[in-house]
Amino acid sequence: MAKVFNAQLIALWVREPLPRYTDFPGEPEEEADAANEYFKGRQKEVADIAAQRGIQINACPKADIPPKPSSTPPRTAATT
């Protein structure tokens, strides 16, 4: 269907944040490396499937980033 409609496909991988404080030095880096290796494997799978079908699928990882607070204060009954 993507080919028929000339659609752009995106595979998005969102992972939970890694622990900031651990019992062992280097553990956060090891977890980050493992997560990155896992994504590389999934990215290759997506690329292989896309190539078999003659399409392009862009894949990108996103860490779970909390939303930024709003710059405008919430409205209350006193401010309306």
Instruction: Give burial (CB, 10 Å; 0-12/13-18/19+) of 19.
Output: exposed
Six-digit token string for 42:
């999934």
Q: Given this model, what pLDDT does residue 21 score?
A: 65
**15: which strand partners?**
63
Q: 7-16 pLDDT, tens per residue?
A: 888 888 777 7
- Nearest-angstrom CA–CA distance, 23 and 76: 44
Per-residue pLDDT band at 5 (split at 50, 70, 90): confident
How high is the pLDDT of residue 15? 73
**Structure confidence by residue, pLDDT tens digits, 13-56:** 777 766 666 676 777 778 778 888 888 898 899 899 999 998 88
CA distance 19 to 73: 31
pLDDT beyond 70 at 65? no
Residue 2, CB-side half-sphere exposure with 13 Å CA sphere:
13
- In this prediction, residue 52 carries a pLDDT of 94
